[in-house]
Amino acid sequence: MQLSKRASSISPSTTLEITAKAKALRAAGHDVIGLGAGEPDFNTPKHIIEAAYHSLNEGLTKYTPSSGLPELKESIIEKFRNDQNLKYSSNEIIVCSGAKHALYTLFQTYLNEKDEVIIPTPFWVSYPEQVKLAGGIPIYVEGKEENSFKVTPEQIEAAVTEKTKAIVLNSPSNPTGMLYSKDELAAIGQVCLKHNLLIVSDEIYEKLTYDGAKHISIAEVSEELKNQTVIINGVSKSHSMTGWRIGYAAGNAQLIKAMTNHASHSTSNPATVSQYGAIAAYNGPQEPVEMMRQAFEERLNNLYERLIEIEGFTCIKPQGAFYLFPNAKEAASRTGYSSVDEFTKALLEEANVALVPGSGFGAPNNVRLSYATSPEILDEAIVRIARFVRERMK
Ligand code: PMP
Ligand code: GLU
């Protein structure tokens, strides 16, 4: 079968692939522990489930406007106002089937053939593939480990060409868990304004920050930067609603209108029942969000201390999200593997622990461990990794 060039040029999502592989091995009777999945292990809070159930019983089961239910957009506007002091109107918001779909629709709507998009590494796996699916070209700028995996304004300036149309920022970052400070964002923002780059600010891990660190959006830095930014967010991570598939974009009204036209031909609208769930998520009690955050912080502290004790691993302590992204180059070479990819493969096949190799995130010396799983499972995983390394270390 002759597939389109576009479809042939993209790779499957490494994160979803590893998660599926771990699940399949488990189903086949192997005692595999998966630290691959980037999704909270908590149940969706009960009041959200009840609101969704109620909406179904009320017969609210029809199509909604393509950009989402007006009530949900109002809840999102209110959330922006309360949490970030950002003011948006209804025509500046589109609700999509997950933040992933919001990003996809944005790139489809904004990019022309061969337009360039700056993607700092390490990056979340879907950004480059989505840019390529829209005919664009990802331009990688290395967030160096010695700079906490963050990019500098000088590096961005050096990567800009007359083809550059946008830059993706993701703070807190998947996979590194790093956060940009207000000063860092202001300095990066100057370069974006100078070259008229659309700033795609993926803030899906906004609520998951630790040790007093606070998420700041580049749109909060100045009105000028807000006008240059599209914020991407959603309820998947904050309210443990990954399977509900509700995310959104907030930004320039003309762009949002184009995205709405596009969505009207792809999904029609995000699932109606999920939209009612998301209204309850934002309008209801926020204690569950904080409870989950605290649980993640506790897990992070435990796991981090034990991970850095394993020989050959070094790790910057993350400030947000729910991943550790250690450098495992030394662990790989001293256990006899030519790359961290090979080491990660052996960990899965021989020690039955699934991690995501950093190559999928553009950082081949690292591996990603998700701690969005129970403390007991994390304990067992770290025991297995430590034993594997100890037994093979030369
Ligand atoms: N951005 C980042 C950085 C993510 O890690 C995820 C999680 N897969 C998403 C966007 C998409 O989230 P969702 O589509 O579940 O809203
Ligand atoms: N964000 C999660 C991860 O990075 C979910 C998987 C995905 O959508 O890529 O693992």
Cα(204) to ligand 1 centroid in Å equals 6
Contact 151, 114 (CB under 8 A): no
Are 25 and 138 in a shared domain?
A: no
| Mean pLDDT, residues 367-389 | 95
> CA dihedral defined by 84, 252, 115, 155, rounded to 10 degrees?
-30
Is 204 close to ligand 1, i.e. is its CB under 6 Å away?
Answer: yes
- Sheet-wide strand order for 247-250: 93-96, 247-250, 229-234, 198-202, 164-170, 116-121, 137-142
Average pLDDT along the chain: 96
Cβ of 239 below 6 Å from ligand 1: no
Surface-to-core class of residue 359, CB atoms within 10 Å of its CB (0-12 exposed, 13-18 middle, 19+ buried): middle
The 8-class DSSP code of residue 201 comes to E
Q: For ligand 1, is residue 174 a contact (CB within 6 Å)? A: yes
Cα 61 to averaged position of ligand 2 atoms, centre (Å): 29
Cα 223 to ligand 2 centroid, rounded to whole Å: 31
Note whether residue 276 is domain-resident. Answer: yes
pLDDT of residue 134: 96
Domain end (from 230, 254, 283): 283
* 224 in the same domain as 82: yes
Q: What share of the chain in percent tops pLDDT 90? A: 92
Site to substitute for ligand 1 among 15, 129, 130, 237, most atoms within 8 A of C-beta: 237
pLDDT of residue 13: 85
Task: Kindly state whether residues 326 and 355 are assigned to the same domain.
Answer: yes
Rounded-to-integer distance, Cα 172 and Cα 294, Å: 16
pLDDT given for residue 214 in this prediction: 94
Q: Residue 14: nearest ligand to its CA?
A: 2
299 and 226 both lie in a single domain: no
Domain boundary among 229, 264, 283: 283
Distance 281 CA to ligand 2 centre (A): 21
The domain that holds 24 is classified in CATH as 3.90.1150.10
> How far is the C-alpha of 105 from the C-alpha of 309, rounded, in Å?
43
| pLDDT exceeds cutoff 80 at 394 | no
Looking at all shown ligands, the one closest to residue 241's CA atom is 1
Residue 51 lies in a domain: no
Q: How many domains does the chain have?
A: 2
- In this structure, the residue with its CA closest to atom 12 of ligand 1 is 99
Same domain flag for 126 and 32: no
Does 48 fall in a domain? no
Q: Is residue 393 part of a domain?
A: no
Q: Which residues contact 127 (CB under 8 A, 6 or more apart)?
A: 103, 117, 119, 138, 168, 170
Question: Looking at the structure, do residues 249 and 311 belong to the same domain, yes or no?
Answer: no
- Residue nearest to ligand 2 atom 1, measured at CA: 38
Condensed to tens digits (0 to 9), the pLDDT of residues 131-172 reads: 999 999 999 999 999 999 999 999 999 999 999 999 999 999
Q: Domain of 317?
A: 5-43+287-388
Of the three residues 283, 303, 332, the one that is the final residue of a domain is 283
**Residue 315 within a domain:** yes
Ligand having the closest approach to the CA of 173: 1
Are residues 162 and 298 located together in one domain of the fold? Answer: no
Q: Summarize the confidence of residues 337-364 as an average pLDDT.
A: 94
- Is 54 contained in some domain? no
Return the ligand 1 atom nearest residue 234 CA: 16
Tokens in use for 48?
């959200």
> Is 83 found in the same domain as 26?
no
Q: pLDDT tens digits for 304-331?
A: 999 999 999 999 999 999 999 999 999 9
Q: Are residues 257 and 319 in the same domain?
A: no
Q: Are residues 163 and 307 in the same domain?
A: no
In angstroms and rounded to an integer, the radius of gyration of the C-alpha atoms of the chain is: 21
Are 75 and 163 contained in the same domain?
yes
Q: What is the CATH number of the domain that holds 153?
A: 3.40.640.10
Closest by CA to 35, choosing from 389, 394, 361, 325, is: 325
Same domain, 75 and 171: yes
pLDDT at 110 over 80: yes
- 13 alpha carbon, closest ligand: 2
Ligand 2 near 15 CB (within 6 A): yes
* Span of 69-73, 116-120, 290-294, 390-394 with lowest mean pLDDT: 390-394
**In the chain, what percentage of residues exceed pLDDT 70?**
100
Instruction: Please check the confidence at residue 17 and state whether its pLDDT lies above 90.
Output: no
Q: Is 122 in the pocket of ligand 1 (CB under 6 A)?
A: no
What length does the chain have? 394
Q: Is residue 28 part of a domain?
A: yes
Residue 55 within any structural domain of the chain: no
